[in-house]
Amino acid sequence: MASTTITPTRMVLNQLKGRLKTARRGHKLLKDKRDELMRQFMDVVKQNKALRLRVEEGLTQAFASLQVASSIMSPEMLEQALLYPRQSVELGMDFKNIMSVNVPLYSFKTKNNDPAEIYPYGFAQTSGELDDALDQLSRVFEDMLELAQVEKTMQLLAEEIEKTRRRVNALEYVMIPELEGNIKYISMKLEENENATKVRLLKVKEMVLQDAHHYQQ
């Protein structure tokens, strides 16, 4: 795969050898990075799968309860009851570094710590089903937050793995073979030049000797 642009000199040969060494080292490092990322990724995927199932189940249940509540109460009443939330959530965000991938870490603070504070209405005019629904929802919410974190982590890791894998493959199947090919081409060319020089010298010697002594071989 010797490209036409390389000049077969010793200097270029040395340069290429240096580059090959770097490429080999980079390849090894990237391969290690990929393997470690993959290990982390598999953990995250497992976590994500479990969480998602839990969240989907919990939400479906919560929505079902909400449905029951809305069938008992009139829609206007329901809307009124939920109109002004008493609780508010503040989401804090931080970054964690996994193998040079920045993944988000969420932390949330509720303004009111009393769990009863999720009900933004008086109990007199609303049905108990609504309380149940909100209770379920608030429990699912913690899982939802974790799911968000895990899922984002998973997506970012997936992207990084893809990138790393591409680099590893590019080094392994393109860069390194090309460098090796070029090195081989140069060393063969140099050897050829050497042989040519040797032959030329022999020839010259013969001619010189013949000139001087009418020497016949």
String marking each residue 110-139 x if it binds another protein according to CB under 8 A = xx------xxx------------xx--xx-
Q: What are phi and psi of 112, to 5 degrees?
A: -110, 130
String marking each residue 163-202 x if it binds another protein according to CB under 8 A = --x-------------------------------------
CA distance 171 to 32: 14
CB of 190 to another protein, least distance (A): 41
**13 contributes a contact to another protein by CB under 8 A:** no
**149 contributes a contact to another protein by CB under 8 A:** yes
Q: Are 130 and 35 in contact (CB under 8 A)?
A: no
Tokens representing 159 are 């992207």
186 burial via Cβ count (<10 Å: 0-12, 13-18, 19+): buried
Choices 23-31, 102-110, 187-195, 207-215 (CB under 8 A): range interacting with another protein: 102-110
How many binding residues for another protein (CB under 8 A)? Answer: 53
Which residue's CB is nearer to another protein, number 31 or number 165?
165
Give the rounded distance of the alpha carbon of 120 from its chain centre: 43
* Near another protein in 34-93, by CB under 8 A: 38, 41, 45, 48-49, 52, 55-56, 59-60, 62-63, 66-67, 82, 85-89, 91, 93
Which residue's CB is nearer to another protein, number 78 or number 171?
78
Would you tell me how many other CB atoms lie within 10 Å of the CB of residue 58? 18
**HEC string for 32-75:** HHHHHHHHHHHHHHHHHHHHHHHHHHHHHHHHHHHHHHHHHCCH
DSSP letter string over 166-182? HHHHHIIIIIHHHHHHH
Which residue's CB is nearer to another protein, number 151 or number 180?
151
CA distance 123 to 215: 126
**23 contributes a contact to another protein by CB under 8 A:** no
Binding site for another protein (CB under 8 A): 38, 41, 45, 48-49, 52, 55-56, 59-60, 62-63, 66-67, 82, 85-89, 91, 93, 95, 102-104, 106, 110-111, 118-120, 133-134, 137-138, 141, 144-145, 147-149, 151-152, 154-159, 161-162, 165
